[in-house]
């Protein structure tokens, strides 16, 4: 949901800058309903609105509440407390310092390395803004982008757990700042040769930035392209009984279930290790649930997620047999298919965290 939430966030910011405060609140309400981390941007815009007038602040909050309040009432009516647990308490239960995920500082380091040129241009833009002698079109958008960029970088710095896709949030605001900075050469540089030199440096740096970004993202692309999904689905559909269910990593099992018309065991689709590390869910409960729902096969990726989690690995090796491995010629990760042993009955283990 991150790209959709980002689209709604930027739509809200655009409407805010255009003076459509109520519609800005509506867009941000839809954004927060898609991803909770739109909330920090709403709080910044609410504060800015209140500094201008109480009416603006009321309109923004009204538009925001018009969307979020009905959404919360609807899902509270459907799922009750479970809705609050899954949407809010789950995130609060995440723990820092996990051996299975990158630390927040490591994610920050990766982001700054990958987007170093964008950050450099944004910093130049701040310098150019401080040197500007005359107001310019876009100054208000620049200041708002600066505030939102700082807001999100601080928000991400204080999270217990952070991931690279979270950094989609500050990136557009850094880009807007960088664009403003590149357009400021005629205003902060007085001599022609200075402008020409800066323009040439900008072209070189932008070319380097684009080429390095293409090289980086081309290495990640195969991880997100599940080319053998239909083949795996056909294999499971042929080898499993119609009433049997499947379970596996949250990035693979739902896709395979849809393609194969097989059910996910006990509807346990979200099985990130963060559920079990933060004591949000007991692994023993999840295992008991899938064992009671005719589990037939488990899909895993070697060394990642559930397969690399020792308690689950012990359960899997005791009750399952590795039947086949689908090699991924287009990427670094294979997909394993583990079949349930027919001659071993499951014994509940309450000691599993």
Section 291-310 average pLDDT = 84
Q: Measured at the alpha carbon of residue 216, what is the angle toward residues 213 and 221, in degrees to the nearest 5? A: 110
Interval 94-126: pLDDT, tens: 665 554 555 667 777 777 777 777 888 888 888
Residue 225 has phi, psi (to 5 degrees) of -110, 110
Please list, in sequence order, all residues whose beta carbon lies within 8 angstroms of the beta carbon of residue 136, skipping any fewer than 6 positions away. 184, 187
DSSP state of 87: I
* pLDDT of 20 strictly over 90: yes
Element (H, E) at 73: helix 54-79
Please, is 224 exposed, middle or buried when counting C-beta atoms within 10 Å of its C-beta (0-12, 13-18, 19+)? exposed
Residue 339, SS3?
Answer: strand
Residue 295, SS3?
Answer: strand
Interval 126-178: pLDDT, tens: 877 777 666 666 788 888 999 999 998 888 887 766 677 778 888 899 888 88
Interval 239-256: pLDDT, tens: 998 899 999 888 788 889
Distance CA 222, CA 331 (A): 5
Give just the sign of the alpha carbon dihedral 282, 284, 285, 290.
Answer: positive
pLDDT of residue 28: 96
Please list, in sequence order, all residues whose beta carbon lies within 8 angstroms of the beta carbon of residue 46, skipping any fewer than 6 positions away. 57, 60, 61
pLDDT band at 14 (very low <50, low <70, confident <90, very high): very high
Section 278-297 average pLDDT = 82
Distance CA 348, CA 291 (A): 10
Angle between helices 104-114 and 139-157 in degrees, nearest 10 = 150
The residue with tokens 């509807």 is: 267
Section 181-202 average pLDDT = 71
Buried-state track 85-97, b at ≥16 Cβ within 10 A, e below 16: eeeeebbebbeee
Element (H, E) at 298: strand 295-300
pLDDT of residue 99: 47
Interval 36-58: pLDDT, tens: 889 999 999 999 999 989 999 99
* pLDDT of 353 strictly over 50: no
pLDDT of residue 64: 96
pLDDT band at 301 (very low <50, low <70, confident <90, very high): confident
Q: For all residues of the chain together, what is the average pLDDT?
A: 81
């Amino acid at each position: 949901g991150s790209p959709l939430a980002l689209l709604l966030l930027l739509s809200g910011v655009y409407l805010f800058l255009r003076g459509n405060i109520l519609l800005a609140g509506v867009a941000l309400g839809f954004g927060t309903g898609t991803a909770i981390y739109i909330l920090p941007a709403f709080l910044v815009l609410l504060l800015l609105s209140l500094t201008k007038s109480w009416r603006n602040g009321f309109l923004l909050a009204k538009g925001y509440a018009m969307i979020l309040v009905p959404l919360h009432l609807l899902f509270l009516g459907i799922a009750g407390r479970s809705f609050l647990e899954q949407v809010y308490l789950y995130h609060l239960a995440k723990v820092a310092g996990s051996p299975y995920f990158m630390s927040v500082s490591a994610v920050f380091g990766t982001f700054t390395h990958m987007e170093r040129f964008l950050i450099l241009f944004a910093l130049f833009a701040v310098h150019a803004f401080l040197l500007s002698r005359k107001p310019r079109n876009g100054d208000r958008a620049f200041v708002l982008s600066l505030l939102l960029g700082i807001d999100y970088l601080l928000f991400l710095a204080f999270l217990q757990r952070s991931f690279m896709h979270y950094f989609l949030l500050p990136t557009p605001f850094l880009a807007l700042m960088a664009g403003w900075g590149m357009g400021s050469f005629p205003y902060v540089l007085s001599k022609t040769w200075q402008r020409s030199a800066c323009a040439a440096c900008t072209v070189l740096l932008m070319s380097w930035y684009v080429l390095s970004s293409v090289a980086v993202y081309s290495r990640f692309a195969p991880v997100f392209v599940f080319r053998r999904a239909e083949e795996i689905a056909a294999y499971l559909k042929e080898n499993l009984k119609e009433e049997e269910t499947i379970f596996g990593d949250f990035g693979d099992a739902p896709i395979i279930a849809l393609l194969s018309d097989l059910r996910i065991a006990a509807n346990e689709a979200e099985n990130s290790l963060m559920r079990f590390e933060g004591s949000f869910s007991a692994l023993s409960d999840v295992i008991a649930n899938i064992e009671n729902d005719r589990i037939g096969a488990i899909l895993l990726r070697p060394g990642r997620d559930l397969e690399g989690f020792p308690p689950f690995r012990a359960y899997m090796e005791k009750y399952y047999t590795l039947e086949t491995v689908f090699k991924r010629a287009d990427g670094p990760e294979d997909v394993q298919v583990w079949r349930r042993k027919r001659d071993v009955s499951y014994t509940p283990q309450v000691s599993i965290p």
